[in-house]
């Protein structure tokens, strides 16, 4: 096969030369990771009562929702027969890691995220339903789900139930994204994926990416609203970002050190792949620019007293680099896992299409879409008292 297709090096099983999973499958764990991370940030406020983080509680929830709504789309675009995707709900194969995910997703969307948002916003929705006119009145009336009761007792009930939902939401968020990690980690045929660390690494990198995206979104939205940045909030969020990043980095290094030390059969081929075809995305983008630089920047802020403007700039840079780094990590797992042959004797290349169904263009569109949805959500359910988004 390698004589016909020049970008194969060494030997690949003939069916392995073309990759089965494309950039869309890279997008999917990236997006669900943002969801899980943003939600954990919200739970820091609601469950762990970290007061400094309170100002971004609602923003985090809406961010999580915007990304969660887009999460199934890359999958639908990838499926050979998306019109049959309901089969995963009709006849889920209980031995398949992927089958159960449909239910985990639904659970998280309906019982955790939507319920929590509804409970938290219910008073504002009812007030808007009363005060608005025209189409917006209809929309808000529909959102009340038939109940206009916002007396003190019902609001108290909302608060208690909402707290419980957030509490359940934390393991649910872990399940949501840890599950994606398990989908890869349970594939014994692929030594790049098959490790019990995979769900844990995915989860912590998800939290890192989610916190980073909320950091960026908060700064952007506050800038657009021409309001002062809540530095206590930003500093606290950045601190948590650093801590969780350190855990994430340690886990990834543990995986690397373990592989290098044991040097089992697949190691040689994986090591070579990382140093050649994955060099840019793994060493440069994921590790150096995407992890070491942001961690250094965030640590710097903890150690040296810096002015507000400088801190904000550092947070923006660190968050942006983090997102690039976590995307690169997903890329390295999904694409990297398909670049080497299961015979351990060769490598292929990923030819990413551009304007095709599984190409770069839809991928970019799917990254922009949640931002647009979030913009709509911020208008519909403003997180802050005086609405001016």
Partner 1 sequence: MRRIFEGWGHLIQLACVAVALVLVFFAIRQELVPPEFGKYGHYRPASLDEIAARTPVFAGREACASCHDDIATAKGKGPHANVGCEACHGPLSRHAQDFTSQKPVLPDTAKLCVICHEADSAKPKTFPQVVSHEHAGDTACGVCHNPHQPKL
Partner 2 sequence: MDLSRRELLAAAGKFIVLSGAALEAFESPSGAVAADSKYRMADHWWAMTIDIQKCIGCGNCVRACALENDVPEGFFRTWVERYEVNGDDMEHPQVESPAGGIHGFPARNTPGAKSFFVPKLCNHCAHSPCVQSCPVGATFVSPDGVVLVDQQYCVGCGYCVQACPYGCRYLHPTKHVADKCTLCYHRITKGLTTACCEACPTGSRQLADLKNPRDPVHEFLRVNAVQILKPQMATGAKVFYKDLDGSVR
Binding residues vs partner 1 (CB under 8 A): 86, 89-91, 93-95, 115, 122, 145-147, 149, 151, 153-157, 161
Nearer to partner 2, 188 or 388 (CB): 188
Distances (CA, A) of 372 to 69, 349, 375: 12, 33, 5
Rounded Cα distance, 312 and 306, in Å = 10
Nearer to partner 2, 45 or 75 (CB): 75
Residues 262-281 that bind partner 2 (CB under 8 A): 268
Q: Among 1, 50, 143, 360, indicate the residue that binds partner 2 (CB under 8 A).
A: 1
Please give the structure tokens belonging to residue 281. 């995305």
How many Cβ atoms from other residues are within 10 Å of residue 103's Cβ?
Answer: 12
Distances (CA, A) of 81 to 27, 77, 78, 87, 378: 19, 9, 9, 11, 34
Nearer to partner 1, 92 or 359 (CB): 92
User: 346 has which bridge partners?
Assistant: 10
Nearer to partner 2, 20 or 309 (CB): 20
Cα angle for residues 343, 349, 352 (degrees, 5° grid): 135
- Binding segment (CB under 8 A) for partner 2, from list 1-9, 169-177, 323-331, 374-382: 1-9
CB 169 → partner 2: shortest distance, Å?
25
Alpha-helical segments (H) within 335-383: 336-339, 360-380
Q: Among 142, 155, 345, 372, indicate the residue that binds partner 2 (CB under 8 A).
A: 345
- Residue owning tokens 């949501």: 176
Residues 90-129 that bind partner 2 (CB under 8 A): 91-93, 95-99, 101-102
352 binds partner 2 per the rule CB under 8 A: no
CB 157 → partner 1: shortest distance, Å?
4
Question: Strand locations in the chain, DSSP E?
Answer: 9-10, 346-347
15 binds partner 2 per the rule CB under 8 A: yes
Q: How long, in residues, is the chain?
A: 389
Nearest-CA neighbor of 119 among 144, 139, 142?
Answer: 144
CB 150 → partner 1: shortest distance, Å?
9
- Find which of partner 1, partner 2, none residue 13 binds, CB within 5 to 8 Å per kind: partner 2
Rounded Cα distance, 287 and 274, in Å = 12
Q: Among 20, 135, 153, 303, indicate the residue that binds partner 2 (CB under 8 A).
A: 20
239 binds partner 2 per the rule CB under 8 A: no
CB 91 → partner 1: shortest distance, Å?
6
Question: Strand locations in 157-311, DSSP E?
Answer: none
Q: Among 16, 116, 120, 248, indicate the residue that binds partner 2 (CB under 8 A).
A: 16
18 binds partner 2 per the rule CB under 8 A: yes
CB 373 within 8 A of CB 62: no
Nearer to partner 2, 141 or 186 (CB): 186
Nearest-CA neighbor of 218 among 53, 13, 379?
Answer: 53
Please give the structure tokens belonging to residue 101. 């995910």
CB 253 → partner 1: shortest distance, Å?
40
- Find which of partner 2, partner 1, none residue 385 binds, CB within 5 to 8 Å per kind: none
Nearer to partner 2, 126 or 183 (CB): 183
Nearest-CA neighbor of 279 among 343, 328, 208, 346?
Answer: 328
CB 55 within 8 A of CB 214: no
Please give the structure tokens belonging to residue 76. 């639908």
Residues of this chain that interact with partner 2 (CB under 8 A) are 1-4, 11-16, 18, 20-21, 75, 78-82, 84-85, 87-88, 91-93, 95-99, 101-102, 183, 187-190, 268, 337-338, 341-345
């Amino acid at each position: 096969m390698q004589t016909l297709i020049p970008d194969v090096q060494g030997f690949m099983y003939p069916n392995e030369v073309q990759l089965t999973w494309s950039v869309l499958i890279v997008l999917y764990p990236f997006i669900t990771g943002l969801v899980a991370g943003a939600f954990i940030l919200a739970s820091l406020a609601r469950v762990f009562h970290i007061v400094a983080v309170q100002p971004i509680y609602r923003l985090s929830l809406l961010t999580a929702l915007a990304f969660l709504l887009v999460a199934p789309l890359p999958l639908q675009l990838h499926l050979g027969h998306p019109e049959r995707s309901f089969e995963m709900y009709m006849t889920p194969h209980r031995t398949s890691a992927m089958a159960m995910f449909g239910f985990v997703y639904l659970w998280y969307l309906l019982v955790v995220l939507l319920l929590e948002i509804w409970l938290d916003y219910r008073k504002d929705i009812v007030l808007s339903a009363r005060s608005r006119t025209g189409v917006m009145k209809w929309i808000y009336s529909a959102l009340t789900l038939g109940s206009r009761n916002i007396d003190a007792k019902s609001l108290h009930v909302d608060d208690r139930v909402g707290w419980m939902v957030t509490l359940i939401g934390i393991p649910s968020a872990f399940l949501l994204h840890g599950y994606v990690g398990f989908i890869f980690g349970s594939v014994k045929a692929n030594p790049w994926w098959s490790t019990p660390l995979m769900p844990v690494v995915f989860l912590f990198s998800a939290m890192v990416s989610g916190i980073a995206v909320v950091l960026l979104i908060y700064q952007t939205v506050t800038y657009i609203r021409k309001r002062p940045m809540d530095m206590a909030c930003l500093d606290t969020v950045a601190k948590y970002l650093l801590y969780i990043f350190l855990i994430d980095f340690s886990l990834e290094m543990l995986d690397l050190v373990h592989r290098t030390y044991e040097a089992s059969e697949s190691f040689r081929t994986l090591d070579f792949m990382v140093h050649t075809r994955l060099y840019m995305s793994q060493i440069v983008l994921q590790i150096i620019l995407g992890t070491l630089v942001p961690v250094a920047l965030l640590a710097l802020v903890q150690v040296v007293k810096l002015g507000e403007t400088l801190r904000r700039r550092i947070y923006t840079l660190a968050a942006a680099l983090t997102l690039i780094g976590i995307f690169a990590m997903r890329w390295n797992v999904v694409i990297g896992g398909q670049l080497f042959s299961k015979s351990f004797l060769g490598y292929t290349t990923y030819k990413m299409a551009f304007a095709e169904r599984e190409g770069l263009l839809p991928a970019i569109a799917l990254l922009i879409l949640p931002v647009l949805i979030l913009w709509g959500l911020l208008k519909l359910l403003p997180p802050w008292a005086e609405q001016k988004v």
